[in-house]
């Protein structure tokens, strides 16, 4: 009896030891993972925290070496000055309309292109697929020169003003050459491939045309994908300044463009008003915060649908 009791005690001790070791190993592993995630997250979030902190610092806090993160005296003056320099009212309206219109055009064209590549077989399909990918791989400055020359030639031949207007970029978006249109097409292509073709066949048996199949089946089942594509396009068009600056030439005032010219705009405004303001880092941080705030607010309201759409489109590789 004593031998059996000792054996049971040893077994229980071993089980408890293994359990304790397993729990400790899991604890250390999770701790290491969280430590790495916190470090990586801080690298990305630290500039944002610094931007927010300096935005609300007073002039005295800016020159005070003891103030790093938390302002001693909260001030909204930086936001007021930055908003005045950026002309935040009209530029914000112009940027929202511009980015929204371009995103809408890109979403429609990308959906139709992705549907055609997913559902139809035609000659040179592989060739055109490669051309679409090459349009993304080739650097934008390389393709910008021939595009600019093409628009200038059309402008000279038709006497229609193109450079300095929205027409070139609108036409590019409608022809599948907008900002990162290749990525948007591939997102739709992947999402549409996940929809069973038997649904198309069943609709065809019932007499539905290709347009009705596209609208009532494919589009209706891809609402989250459409939202993801629209948001991607909206953000990319919002932040894009190279193509816009080359073709639009500043004739439409947009927030990112005004932010790029903040130093000169600030100097011009101060000289015109005869003020005593001096450009400092706080004004620039406030201007940057104003520029990205609409995008942050947009993400806050649609983050649930956005994350769900990313999962459904297979962007994560699932």
What pLDDT sits at residue 293?
92
What pLDDT sits at residue 316?
41
Structure tokens at 310: 């990313």
Q: Is 276 exposed, middle or buried (0-12, 13-18, 19+ CB in 10 A)?
A: exposed
pLDDT at 312 over 90: no
pLDDT in tens, 170-182: 999 999 888 999 9
What pLDDT sits at residue 79?
92
If one compares 119 and 279, the residue with the highest pLDDT of the two is 119
Q: In angstroms, rounded to a whole number, what is the distance separating the alpha carbons of residues 318 and 302?
A: 22
pLDDT at 317 over 50: no
Please give the distance of CA 110 from its chain centroid, rounded to a whole number. Answer: 16
Average pLDDT over residues 185-207: 90
pLDDT at 147 over 80: yes
**Would you place residue 314 in the very low, low, confident or very high pLDDT band (cuts 50, 70, 90)?**
low
Q: In angstroms, rounded to a whole number, what is the distance separating the alpha carbons of residues 259 and 256?
A: 5
């Amino acid at each position: 009896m004593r031998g059996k009791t000792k054996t049971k005690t040893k077994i229980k001790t071993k089980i408890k030891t293994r359990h304790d070791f397993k729990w400790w190993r899991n604890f250390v592993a999770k701790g290491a993972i969280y430590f790495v995630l916190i470090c990586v997250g801080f690298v990305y979030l630290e500039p944002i925290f610094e931007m927010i902190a300096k935005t609300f610092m007073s002039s005295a806090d800016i020159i005070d070496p003891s103030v790093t993160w938390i302002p001693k005296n909260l001030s909204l003056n930086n936001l007021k000055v930055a908003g005045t320099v950026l002309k935040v009212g009209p530029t914000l309206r112009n940027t929202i309309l511009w980015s929204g219109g371009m995103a809408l055009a890109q979403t429609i064209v990308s959906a139709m292109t992705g549907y055609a590549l997913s559902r139809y077989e035609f000659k040179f399909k592989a060739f055109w697929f490669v051309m679409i990918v090459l349009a993304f791989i080739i650097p934008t400055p390389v393709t910008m020169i021939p595009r600019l020359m093409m628009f200038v030639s059309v402008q000279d031949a038709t006497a229609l003003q193109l450079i300095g207007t929205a027409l070139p970029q609108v036409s590019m978006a409608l022809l599948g050459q907008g900002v990162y249109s290749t990525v948007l097409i591939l997102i739709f292509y992947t999402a549409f491939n996940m929809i069973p073709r038997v649904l198309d066949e069943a609709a065809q048996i019932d007499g539905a045309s290709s347009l009705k199949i596209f609208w009532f089946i494919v589009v209706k089942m891809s609402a989250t994908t459409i939202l993801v594509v629209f948001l991607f396009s909206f953000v990319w068009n919002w932040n894009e300044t190279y193509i816009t600056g080359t073709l639009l030439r500043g004739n439409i005032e947009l927030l990112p463009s005004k932010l790029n010219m903040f130093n000169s705009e600030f100097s011009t405004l101060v000289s015109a008003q005869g003020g005593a303001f001096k450009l400092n880092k706080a004004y620039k941080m406030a201007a940057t915060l104003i520029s990205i705030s609409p995008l942050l607010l947009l993400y806050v309201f649609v983050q649930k649908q956005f994350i769900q759409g990313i999962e459904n489109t297979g962007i994560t590789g699932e």
